[in-house]
Structure formats: structure tokens, C-alpha cells
Structure 1
Amino acid sequence: MRAGYIENHGSVENIKIGDVDNPRIGNLDVIIKTEFAALNRLDLFVVQGWSGLNLKMPHVLGSDGSGIITEIGPDVITDLHVGDRVLINPGIGCGQCSQCLSGRQNFCSKFSILGENKNGTYAEYVKVPSRNVLKIPDSYPFDKAAAAPLTFLTAWRMLVSQAQIKSGEYVLIQGGSGGVSTAAIQIANYFNATTIVTTSSDEKTAKAKEMGADHVINYNQIPNYAKVVFKELTKKKGIDLVVDSVGTVTFNTSLKMLRPGGRLVTCGATTGPKAELDIRSIFWKQLKIFGSTMSNYQEFHDVMKLVLNGKFSPAVDKVFKLEELQDAERYLGESNHFGKVLIQI
């Protein structure tokens, strides 16, 4: 089958398009003919590699995907059939440990993400456990279905499960043009919060407002935006909840904008993982900092129900062909996109 893969770590130029072996189904698996797949920053990190990442090469990239079931394992007992249209939950637990059996799959010691430690979705066919697929309505488009899972499940767990967002709160979303951030804008609106978004251009500002953001700040035009947020937008109250997956560049500013008792939730660090913190501000203001990774299966189903019912709509920026995967990854790395970048298989 045709796939986008690497044979060794390095730069985007290491990504190849060619033939790899078809996946072999397991007793509890399904095989999906992929229609669309979505890019994530994780792709770039996997291509670069990190200490302790030991992949069996060639390694197929890609976490998100949608398609049609073509084969079902003999021990699958769920209501799935060949020909079903499905989207994929990219977070995979072992399904047997105490964490998985208690509904905390993302705490499983063997938890992994498609495209990270397992072959992913940039291929004509992908194998996943049957518990990791969700049927989608005939009317729901494959491109939107591929764009939704990782970003919406991540944002839902961050805002709802971890930070426990409340109606009427001021929620600030750093770097509001990526997949997780555009999902977070919609989720915050769903809970009747006032959303404040930072972004890098007038074009992205307009798109964030179209997405439903109440206030959008172009940080290139207003580098000292923390004062604007505090004095003008929150009337000196401060922010109740900050969503920060940017990391080094924004983390201290995010903490500074929080009101006493405020919360910060993070799922990533695209500009780097290290920041120098004034610990005094954390204990004096009694701040809460939450880490969040992916979601459990219940959270995935909760937010996907809202997506498939039209309450949320994944933002799709641009669609590339599989043969253009290198160009797509470069485009993602330039951070000029708004929403998800997709691959049509």
C-alpha cells in the first residue's frame, strides 16, 4: 500500500512516499481504508526523533484519520460492520490494565498515539483496535471527521475535565490558530465563557472572530498585551482560565494574567518546554496549573457526539495530496495555518 513514512530521523526531507506492507489485522482490530488524515505537530517531533523513541522502521506517520472499515477481527463484538464510515480515536491504551479498565486509558503505562509509537494514518490502510473507532453519519464529511479527533478530545479534557470551565469566566487562549486552540474557542463558547484569543496576524484575527472569539489580540501589534487584557478586557479582574500550549514564549505572561485563584492548563509546548517561573506569584495568588494529555474514551465520545451533532465544527485550513506530504509538513511548521491541515489519501 502507499504510505507516508520515515526510515530514519531528521528533517521533513526524510519523509518518503512509497509502498509499505499492508497492516495485519489482530483479533480485536479493524482495518480502515483511509479517506483523509490530519497533520499534528507530533508529526514534526517524530520525524526529528527524541531520546528514548525507538521505532521499527519504516514508520508510518499520522495520528488522525477517517475512512471506511474493510475488515473486522474475529473477536470484535461491538456493532461494527464492513462498509461503516468511521473516524479514529488516536489515543490507544492496552485495554487490560487497571487504568484502562477503570476508564483512565490515557494513564495506561502502555498508552500511545497513532503515528508516534504505532504506524499511523498517512497510508491507504490503517489498523486500530475496534474500541478506537466511532461510526459517523452518512452525511458527515470525511475531511471534517479526520480534522476533529485529536484536537477536540485534547481541548475537551483540558477545559472541561481538568480546568472545569464555568459559565461567565474569562478564558484566554494563547496562539489561537492551531487545531487545539480553535477547538478550545468553540468549547469555551459552548460553556458561555468570554473568550480572549492571542494570534499573530490580522488575517488570523478575523478568522478567530468568525470562529466565535469575543476578543482577539494580535501580539505582533500589541506585544505588551497582558496590560490590555487586565485593564481593558477584564476591568482589572484578571483571567480565570488560560489555555497555553505555546510554552516557553508565553508561559510567564499567561501566569501573570491570571486572577487570584486562577487556573492554567497546558497540553504542549510548541515554542519549547522550559520557562523560568516566579514561584512566589504561584503561591501568593494561589494559582492552579494543570497538565493534560489526550483523553480517556468517555471524554472522546462525549466531545465527538457534540462534533457529529454539529455543535462544534473543526476548522480546516488546507488539503494536500499524500504525495505532497513533505510540503504539507513544511506548511504546518511555518505556523501560517488556521485550523487543521489535511491529507487526502
Structure 2
Amino acid sequence: MRAAVQRRYGGPDVLEAAELPDPGPDRDHAVIELRAAALNWHDVLVRRGQYRSPLPHVPGADGAGIDVETGAEVLVLPALRWGDDESAPAADWEILGDRRHGTYAEKVRVPRDCVFPKPPALTWAEAAALPLVGLTTYRALFTRGRLRAGESLLVLGAGGGVATMAVSLASAAGAHVVVTSSAEAKIAGACELGAEGGVRYDRPGWAEAAVARSPHRRGFDLVLDPVGSWADALAALRPGGRLVVLGASRAESATLAVRPYYFGQYDLLGTTMGSPRDFDGLLRLRAEHEVPPPVVDRVFPLAQAADAHEYLESGRGFGKIVLGTEAEGTV
């Protein structure tokens, strides 16, 4: 099979096209003939060596394709061995593409309990873009964040996969959604997905500007922070509000004033990925509400994985970037 393989850690250029032996199914594992694989920032960290993935390695957590044994159209759940505790993953939990070969390939071998039916209305590219970001965002908003219909949500960032998914899911569930961005075009794109407006985070006082857009100008019930701007995010919350943190792309550390935090009665909630139960909840929400399909910005051929990573890191995209495993690279 064809795959994008890295034999060292580094920049996008470490991803090279290669031929690997086909994986085979067994009692505990299914083999999926992939039609598309979506990129995530997590893949960039794997490529750089942050997770010390064994080399040579095939990255990739997201995929959609055909189960080679049953012929069914399926999604791959990228959270492996979550365990029985819904509050947090088990000690041996891992993300597909960390320690074992991932989805930047024509085929991938995964545990059978990580195979779910593909929603029939989605294209292959849209289906591949759903699992990791959809699962992560669903858990952040509803399992951890306890978001309910009628509540208000501020999403930090408007163009990434988490942000676009958050706007789509929260709006469909009846929340009032506002976003932040440094680009008017990305705010406009978020409004097309259901956001009620946005503010520019590259301008002074953006947190106050966001609060002015919240119901009764009181602040938001929930702020979703996938970038690491905790102090500004807390400033946008109403008293008693919840801040859900699921990323650190803009900052690896945060300093908070202690007294305002506890006098504000805030909840600070960390989260990542999710359980099979969360994934069931995501698929059920999509089936019961009018949720737009995942936003796909561009589809690259599998052989151009390095170019896809360069585009991902440029920050120019709106939505998900996908690798197509078919020769022409379109799905």
C-alpha cells in the first residue's frame, strides 16, 4: 500500500511517499481501506517528535473508508482504549497515529470497537474530517462544558477545525454563538455556519468587545478555548461561567489572578478527545439536528502530505484539510 512515512522528526519535508506492506485483519482488529484522511494539529506535533512516535512512522488520526471484510462504509474512531471511566481516559489510552501507524495511508488497522458507520449524507472528505475534531468538540461543549439550548458560547478562533465544528454543533443545539478571529472573512464564514457575530482578537480590548455581544452584555455562559488564552477567556465569562480548555496553539502556559477567579465562581475545565459514548452522542446529535457537514478547506493527494502540512501550519485555511487516497487526490 501507499503511505506518507516519516523516518525522522522535523518539518513538513520529513513526510515522504513510500510503499508499505498491507496490514491484515484479525479477531480484534479490522482493516479499513481508506478513502480520505483528515489532518489535525496533533499530526504536526507527532511529526515534530513531541510524542516520540517510533520511527519510521505513518501519522494520522482521522480516516474514513471501507471495511475490507464487510464492505461497509465506516469512520475510524481515533481514541483507542479509552476505558470504562467516562470522566477521563485510562492509563493506556492513546490516539491513533501516536504509537501505531495512522491514517496517512491507503489502509489502516484499528481495534474493531473503533469502527463506526459513516453518516450516509457525508462525502468521503467530510466523513474523514469528522471523527477527531467532532469527538473532541462534542465532549468539550456538552460532556465537559454542559452546554444547553438557550445558553451563550464564545469560541476563540473562527477558522480551525475545532472552531468551525463548535459553531456548527452549538448552533444546531440551540446555543447563541459568537467567535473571535483576526480575519473578517473567517468571522463571515463562521456566521454562515450559525454564529451570530464575531470580534477581532488582534485589536485591543477584544474580550470587552465580545462581552458586549453576549446576552444582556453580562458575559458568556461558556467559552471554548482551543488556543491557550485563559486570562482573556475568563474576562469574557459571566459570573459563574465555564471555561473549557482543549488546546495550546497560541500559548503553552497561562497566569491567572487567583482572587478574581474564585470570586467569579468560575469553572475551569480541561478536556481532550473523548470516549466511544461521546462519539455516539456526536453521531446522535448530527442525526437529530440540522448540523452542517464538516467544513473542508482543501483536499490534497496522499503523495502531497508535506504540502498539506505546510498549508495547515500557514493558518490560511478555513475548516479542515484532507488527504485523498485516490490517485487524483479529490474525494
TM-score range (shorter-chain normalised) is over 0.9
Tell me which residue corresponds to 1:231. 212
Shift of 1:311: 2.9
Shift of 1:20: 2.0
- Range with bigger deviation, 62-71 or 22-31: 22-31
Letter of the 1:325 counterpart: A
Shift of 1:191: 2.6
Tell me which residue corresponds to 2:223. 242
- CA distance, structure 1, for counterparts of residue 158 and residue 226 of structure 2: 10
Tell me which residue corresponds to 1:327. 307
Equivalent residue for 2:156, pick from 174, 195, 198: 174
Shift of 1:289: 0.4
Are 1:294 and 2:294 an aligned pair?
Answer: no
- CA distance, structure 1, for counterparts of residue 320 and residue 212 of structure 2: 33
- The superposition leaves residues 291-323 of structure 1 with CA deviations (integer Å, 9 ceiling, x where unpaired) of 111111111012123336673221111110011
Q: 1:342 is paired with a residue of what secondary structure?
A: strand
Letter of the 2:58 counterpart: V
Shift of 1:139: 5.1
Shift of 1:277: 1.2
- CA distance, structure 1, for counterparts of residue 55 and residue 196 of structure 2: 46
Are 1:146 and 2:144 an aligned pair?
Answer: no
Tell me which residue corresponds to 2:23. 23
Shift of 1:135: 1.7
Question: 1:275-314 to 2 correspondence within 5 Å?
Answer: 275-307=254-286, 311-312=290-291, 313-314=293-294
Q: What is the TM-score when the length of structure 1 is the normalising length?
A: 0.89
- CA distance, structure 2, for counterparts of residue 20 and residue 337 of structure 1: 31
Tell me which residue corresponds to 1:97. none
- CA distance, structure 1, for counterparts of residue 74 and residue 200 of structure 2: 38
Go from structure 1 to structure 2 and tell me whether the alpha carbon gap of 1:167 and 1:300 turns closer, same or farther (over 3 Å shift): same
Matched-pair contact (CA < 8 Å) for 1:93–1:106: no
**Count of residue correspondences:** 324
Matched-pair contact (CA < 8 Å) for 1:177–1:338: yes
Matched-pair contact (CA < 8 Å) for 2:80–2:114: yes
- CA distance, structure 2, for counterparts of residue 279 and residue 253 of structure 1: 14
- CA distance, structure 2, for counterparts of residue 232 and residue 24 of structure 1: 54
- The superposition leaves residues 213-262 of structure 1 with CA deviations (integer Å, 9 ceiling, x where unpaired) of 01112323x33211222235444311111000111xx2210011111111
Tell me which residue corresponds to 2:77. 89
Question: 1:152-191 to 2 correspondence within 5 Å?
Answer: 152-191=134-173
Structure 1 unaligned residues grouped into runs of 5+: 72-80, 95-99
Matched-pair contact (CA < 8 Å) for 1:42–1:116: no
Matched-pair contact (CA < 8 Å) for 2:46–2:53: no
- CA distance, structure 2, for counterparts of residue 138 and residue 209 of structure 1: 26
Letter of the 1:44 counterpart: V
Letter of the 1:239 counterpart: F
- CA distance, structure 2, for counterparts of residue 89 and residue 163 of structure 1: 21
Structure 2 unaligned residues grouped into runs of 5+: 326-331
Equivalent residue for 1:64, pick from 46, 53, 62: 62
- CA distance, structure 2, for counterparts of residue 147 and residue 232 of structure 1: 30
- The superposition leaves residues 147-187 of structure 1 with CA deviations (integer Å, 9 ceiling, x where unpaired) of 11111111111111111012222210001211111111122
Shift of 1:267: 1.2
Equivalent residue for 1:104, pick from 72, 77, 86: 86
Matched-pair contact (CA < 8 Å) for 2:187–2:197: no
